[in-house]
A and B are shown apart, each in its own frame.
Chain A
Amino acid sequence: MSTTIAPSTETIESAVLDNGLRVFVKPDRRAPIAVSQIWYRVGSSYEQRGLTGISHLLEHMMFKGTARYPEGAFSEIVSRQGSRENAFTGRDFTAYFEILAADRLPVAFELEADRMANLDIRAEALETEREVVLEERRLRTDDRPEGRFLERYAAVAEAGTAYAHPIIGWADDINAIDEDDLRRWYQQWYAPANANLVVAGAVDPSEVFELAEAHFGILQGPQAAQPCDPRALVPPGERRVVYRDAQSRLTHLRIGYRVPSFATAETEDDAYALMMLATILDGGEGGRLTEALVRGSRQATVINASYNGMTRLDAEFTCHAVCPNTQTETLEQSLRSQIARLAAEPVSENELRRARSQLIADHFFSADDVFNQAMQIGQLEAIGAGWATFSAFEHKLQSITQGRLQAVAERYLKAENSVVGILSPIESDVKAV
């Protein structure tokens, strides 16, 4: 049975303005809407201790107004267009978006161009927004056992890299950042030459380029700066973090391997191979892990494997399981032998076919939402891999052989690259939940 796919979606067009702003357009005319996303190449991995969380805090301040559009005016104008707007901060980017009727795109450009250059950072607004961010931190991290665990896990798993601290920042840094810090951060990173504008939807690329020139073309700014990354230890060595939490009622086991991303891989085939390996282990109820450890030995209640190669620095290949008891040792051994098996013997033809079909199908499913189409371009650009990375997606997946999968598993999925994280309830004698 072969994987037959209909002709691919339309192509991406790009242009660069004189001031260095890069513009990407992906037409999709299934519905009369458009997504506009402006991506700044700055995120938590650009920060040092003392300023952690500043990218995210600045993202919040970007909604606090300019001289032309004071606080509230931006959101009100966008809202009257029936538009949805928001922003998100990651380790490698800070991005702002509007989703709106395609003919209203000029409104989004006008407002984004204005706040790229003219943000008014006021002390009073900062004090209110700092409280909002601290509430966000409590919601996502401080008040959830998994949130508390994952922050500790990342600090160990990413120790020595710029991914070790949380995107939202450590609470003491959030409290200490002042408006001068924010102004400097804004001036340093919010420049046309450090931004990518991505538009997807029912639009004509040449019209979008013209519109971008009209709104963003007049802006000036410094040349794009480079983040200063600490040199990571290679290999990082085997690490372990065991965290007992008074509120946790379940035991979680996580094993992560430091692996290349689409940006850091010597050859992108390695990144594709890692995607396929994760799909062979998981990719649904029919994957190896669920078959062997959930339906088979019942050592896990739920189990999954994932690889997210969309990172500027090295990525993580992760296995995560919820254990039916607090005895994680045997489960850890079983997981390790599943990993070892990937290097020791070739995957079957059936498994290979299943992984390819799933990844290709998921690629199309994700394109159903124009927001995702824009996200993909924005992320690939933000990490430095380039928007064209997935243009031969299907062909690439078909070309990865069983031998390559084995070699990649052997090279990267080994103990000296791994970290084990365990989250468990405090009473160590808790049996079933």
Chain B
Amino acid sequence: MELSIQHWCTDNGARVFFVARRGLPTVDSRIAFNAGSARDNTLPGLARMTSNLLLEGTAEQTAGEISQALEQHGARVEMRCGRDTADVNIRCLSHQTHLGPVFQTIGECIGGAVFPSDSVDRIRQRMIAGLAQESTAPMEKIEKGFTEAIFRDHPYATSPGGESDSLQAIDPQRLRSFHGRYYVGANTTVTLVGDLSRAQAERTAEQLVAGLPVGERASALTPVNPPSGRLVSRLPFEAEQTHVSIGGVSLPYGHEDHPALHLGCHILGGGGLTSILARRMRRERGLSYSSACKLTAGAAGGRFQMKTHVRNEALSEALSVLRASLRELLDQGADTNALELARENLLGSLPLQLASNRDLLERVATIGFHGLPLDDVQRFSEKLQQLDGEEVRAAMRRHLDPDLMATVLVGPELAISRVE
């Protein structure tokens, strides 16, 4: 499971991570700025709006001209801004006639974005429309409700998409100063995967960040804290199903208990139809189309989340199954068969997660941004092989306390008010 990641820094301090992968004439790359919504401060949505406006104009080029310049070469560029990072993802053909001009244009944009006021208004309207859309989607509503409930006063609590009021309050000046502070070399990680030589990768990386001043790295975020007790949050929504999330805060990237906790959660609700939750909720009871448990990490902490959706009449039964399944694993641990099944599945599926260039980019970019060891995948795999049932149970007990978890329900008033 060797990834052969090459690593160096550009002249202005951006960290570069590169994996050569031949066979397809394409390059996948990501520029990750430590400028996610955790930096929004008093204006939720500021980080994402900044990111959404990066290709909307420089002193020399309009938004239309920038799109044309990229699309003439078939490049696909996508902005993504979550809690930790604001990413620019670029897919491009690897031939120099395409790669050169595309990366040149991107470099000019991220360094020289001017945030024209008509674009600011337009992107604001689009983001506000996005909020309206989310308010009619139970899955989006529960995602918001759940993060608010578990992260409370931490900067992770607000949604990266912001709120209508705060979006209205953001002006070009705010965007420019956010950009000036965080879009700097020292705060940037570049990841490149694909059909490139080391020399090309070095040139390309320099080209991408050439317009950024050295600047300063953003300060570390305060770690997340668990809530002080159990809580239930009810969000009314007229529908035939109720969506359920139960969980709490969890480990940041790089924590030594991560492999054990990951394995435990995989037993409980990992991929496929074999986990405890999939079996009990779907196969045995026909309660739900999908029931899963997700463990995600972030720079300041992660989250543990059991998720499902059930017809309203079955809500109470579903809550009992989810809670009892977790409780059982904490009290008794997993049986040997379940443990081995989950272990074999995780180990065997590692190559699948690194097969496409895009998946590989995702993994390498995470290693790069969070400063994980370059042989992280190897270490994870070795640790997985060694863990025994008691270690898994102990890690779960250390980090997953049902008394410090939130239950979030999105469904009709009548259904959600009847359960605890």
Q: Which residues of A contact B283 (CB under 8 A)?
A: 71-72, 128
Q: Which residues of B contact A365 (CB under 8 A)?
A: 26, 76, 91
Chain A 108-134 interface mask (CB, 8 Å, partner B; 1/0): 000000000000000000011111111
Q: Which of A76, A127, A250 is in CB contact (< 8 Å) with B341? A: A76
Which residues of chain B in 285-313 are interfacial with respect to chain A, using CB atoms and an 8 Å cutoff?
285-290, 309-311
Give the distance in Å from the alpha carbon of A363 to the alpha carbon of B273 in the complex.
32
Q: Which residues of A contact B94 (CB under 8 A)?
A: 6
B5 in contact (CB, < 8 A): no
Chain A 87-127 interface mask (CB, 8 Å, partner B; 1/0): 00000000000011100100000000000000000000001
Contact B344 A79 (CB under 8 A): yes
Which of A26-34, A189-197, A376-384 lies at the interface?
Answer: A26-34
Q: Which residues of A contact B241 (CB under 8 A)?
A: 135, 138-139, 143
With contact pairs A6-B195, A368-B26 given, residues A81 and B348 touching in the complex (Cβ less than 8 Å): yes
Q: Which of B72, B289, B350 is in CB contact (< 8 Å) with A1? A: B72
B377 in contact (CB, < 8 A): no
Q: Which residues of A contact B348 (CB under 8 A)?
A: 80-83, 100-101, 104
Which residues of chain A in 1-51 are interfacial with respect to chain B, using CB atoms and an 8 Å cutoff?
1-7, 9, 28-33
With contact pairs A144-B137, A295-B64, A361-B74 given, residues A4 and B341 touching in the complex (Cβ less than 8 Å): no
Contact B74 A249 (CB under 8 A): no
Number of interface residues of B (CB under 8 A): 74
With contact pairs A75-B273, A354-B71, A357-B73 given, residues A135 and B309 touching in the complex (Cβ less than 8 Å): yes
Q: Which residue of A lies closest to B282 (CB)?
A: A132
Chain A 48-79 interface mask (CB, 8 Å, partner B; 1/0): 00000000000000010000000110011011
Q: Which residue of A lies closest to B94 (CB)?
A: A6
A301 in contact (CB, < 8 A): yes
Q: Which residues of A contact B24 (CB under 8 A)?
A: 9, 30, 364, 367-368
B352 in contact (CB, < 8 A): yes
Contact A79 B345 (CB under 8 A): yes
B356 in contact (CB, < 8 A): yes
B128 in contact (CB, < 8 A): yes
Give the distance in Å from the alpha carbon of A33 to the alpha carbon of B286 in the complex.
33
Give the distance in Å from the alpha carbon of A373 to the alpha carbon of B412 in the complex.
43
Give the distance in Å from the alpha carbon of A71 to the alpha carbon of B274 in the complex.
11
Q: Which residue of B lies closest to A291 (CB)?
A: B64
Chain A 347-373 interface mask (CB, 8 Å, partner B; 1/0): 000100110011111101101111000
Contact B286 A127 (CB under 8 A): yes
Give the distance in Å from the alpha carbon of A99 to the alpha carbon of B353 in the complex.
11
Chain B 94-138 interface mask (CB, 8 Å, partner A; 1/0): 110110000000000000000000000010011011001101111
Q: Which residues of B contact A85 (CB under 8 A)?
A: 272
A386 in contact (CB, < 8 A): no
Q: Which of A127, A132, A142, A350 is in CB contact (< 8 Å) with B289? A: A132
Question: Which of B98, B138, B279 has the most chain A CB atoms closer than 10 A to its own CB?
Answer: B98
Give the distance in Å from the alpha carbon of A133 to the alpha carbon of B288 in the complex.
9
Contact A75 B239 (CB under 8 A): no
B9 in contact (CB, < 8 A): no
Contact A368 B356 (CB under 8 A): yes
Q: Which residues of A contact B232 (CB under 8 A)?
A: none
Tell me the smallest distance from the CB of A59 to a CB of chain B, in Å: 13
Chain B 319-362 interface mask (CB, 8 Å, partner A; 1/0): 00000000000000000000001001111111110111110000
Tell me the smallest distance from the CB of B322 to a CB of chain A, in Å: 15
Q: Which residue of B lies closest to A283 (CB)?
A: B71
Which residues of chain B in 59-94 are interfacial with respect to chain A, using CB atoms and an 8 Å cutoff?
63-64, 67-68, 70-76, 91-94
Q: Which residues of A contact B40 (CB under 8 A)?
A: none
With contact pairs A5-B93, A135-B310, A143-B240 given, residues A100 and B352 touching in the complex (Cβ less than 8 Å): yes
Q: Which residues of A contact B138 (CB under 8 A)?
A: 143-144
Give the distance in Å from the alpha carbon of A78 to the alpha carbon of B273 in the complex.
10
Contact A130 B349 (CB under 8 A): no
B21 in contact (CB, < 8 A): yes
Q: Which residues of B contact A433 (CB under 8 A)?
A: 128-129, 132
Q: Which of B68, B284, B310 is in CB contact (< 8 Å) with A354? A: B68
Contact B272 A84 (CB under 8 A): yes
Q: Which residues of A contact B133 (CB under 8 A)?
A: 249-250, 322
Tell me the smallest distance from the CB of B249 to a CB of chain A, in Å: 27
Contact B28 A368 (CB under 8 A): yes
Contact A324 B125 (CB under 8 A): yes
Which residues of chain B in 25-57 are interfacial with respect to chain A, using CB atoms and an 8 Å cutoff?
25-26, 28, 55
Contact A358 B95 (CB under 8 A): no
Contact B288 A135 (CB under 8 A): yes
A285 in contact (CB, < 8 A): yes
B227 in contact (CB, < 8 A): no
Chain A 176-219 interface mask (CB, 8 Å, partner B; 1/0): 00000000000000000000000000000000000000000000
Contact A249 B71 (CB under 8 A): no
Give the distance in Å from the alpha carbon of A139 to the alpha carbon of B350 in the complex.
30
Tell me the smallest distance from the CB of A129 to a CB of chain B, in Å: 7
B229 in contact (CB, < 8 A): no
Tell me the smallest distance from the CB of B196 to a CB of chain A, in Å: 12
Tell me the smallest distance from the CB of B199 to a CB of chain A, in Å: 18
Q: Which residues of A contact B92 (CB under 8 A)?
A: 361
Contact A358 B279 (CB under 8 A): no
Tell me the smallest distance from the CB of B31 to a CB of chain A, in Å: 18
A248 in contact (CB, < 8 A): yes
Residues of chain B having any CB pair with chain A under 8 Å: 21-26, 28, 55, 63-64, 67-68, 70-76, 91-95, 97-98, 122, 125-126, 128-129, 132-133, 135-138, 195, 238-241, 271-274, 279, 282-290, 309-311, 341, 344-352, 354-358
A-B contact pairs, 17 of them (CB 8 A): A4-B95, A30-B23, A30-B357, A71-B283, A82-B351, A85-B272, A100-B352, A127-B286, A132-B286, A132-B289, A136-B289, A354-B72, A357-B72, A357-B73, A361-B75, A361-B92, A368-B357
13 new A-B contacts, CB < 8 A, other than A7-B25, A285-B64, A361-B75, are A1-B97, A4-B98, A6-B25, A31-B354, A82-B345, A101-B352, A132-B286, A136-B289, A138-B240, A145-B136, A250-B132, A285-B71, A361-B76
Shortest 9 CB-CB contacts between residues of A and residues of B: A82-B348, A361-B74, A286-B67, A6-B25, A131-B286, A128-B286, A31-B355, A357-B74, A285-B67
